[in-house]
């Protein structure tokens, strides 16, 4: 899996998580 694709998924998940719960953003940022 390309690094760029992986980063995009991580950023998207982190953004969604941050909007839902600030703590969740950290969890999804992996």
Q: What pLDDT, on a 0 to 100 scale, did the predictor assign at position 9?
A: 77
Q: What pLDDT, on a 0 to 100 scale, did the predictor assign at position 30?
A: 47
Which residues 6+ apart lie within 8 Å of 30 measured at CB?
10
Tokens of 9: 């998924």
Return the SS3 of 21.
Answer: coil
d(CA 12, CA 3): 14
Mean pLDDT, each 10-residue run in order, the chain (30 residues): 73 71 56
Q: What pLDDT, on a 0 to 100 scale, did the predictor assign at position 10?
A: 78
Q: What pLDDT, on a 0 to 100 scale, did the predictor assign at position 27?
A: 58
Q: What pLDDT, on a 0 to 100 scale, did the predictor assign at position 4?
A: 78
């Amino acid at each position: 899996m390309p690094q760029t694709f992986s980063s995009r998924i991580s950023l998207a998940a982190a953004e969604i998580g941050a909007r839902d719960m600030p703590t969740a953003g950290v969890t999804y940022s992996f």
